[in-house]
Every structure is written in structure tokens, then in C-alpha cells.
Amino acid sequence: MIVTIFRSTMQTVRGINQKYATPHLKTTRLVRICLGLLRAYLFLLIAILLFKFIHSLH
């Protein structure tokens, strides 16, 4: 039963990924810059969280 639920969920997720595969917002330079900055910001936050985690282990 668990396997069936898992398979059906994965199928739904694949369907969602297909449905939204192409972004519909016009990719202007501003949009590219904003998304790039957002990626950098999130990587920085993840790095800080990892540092905190490793620091806590020590």
C-alpha cells in the first residue's frame, strides 16, 4: 500500500513538473538578475546553516 501511494505521488509530482516545465514570466534582464541574486542569497543562507550545524556538533 505504501509503495502504491509513493508511486502515485511520484507520478503526480512528475505531472506537476511537466505542467510547469516552462516559466511563463517574460525572462527580461531584470528577472534574470533578481533570480540570480535570490539563488546566491539562498546559497549563502544554507552555508550559514551548515556552518552552524557543524559548529554545534563540535
Residue with smaller CB distance to other proteins, 3 or 20: 20
The radius of gyration of the chain from alpha carbons, rounded to an integer in Å, stands at 18
What's the maximum distance between 2 C-alpha atoms anywhere in the chain? 48
- Among 6, 8, 40, 45, the residue binding other proteins under the rule CB under 8 A is 45
CB 31 within 8 A of CB 25: yes
DSSP per position, 13-27: HHHHHHHTSS--S--
- From residue 11 to residue 40, the character string flagging contacts with other proteins as x (rule: CB under 8 A) and all else as - is -x---xx-xxxxxxxx---xx--xx--x--
Residues that bind other proteins (CB under 8 A): 12, 16-17, 19-26, 30-31, 34-35, 38, 41-42, 45, 48-49, 52
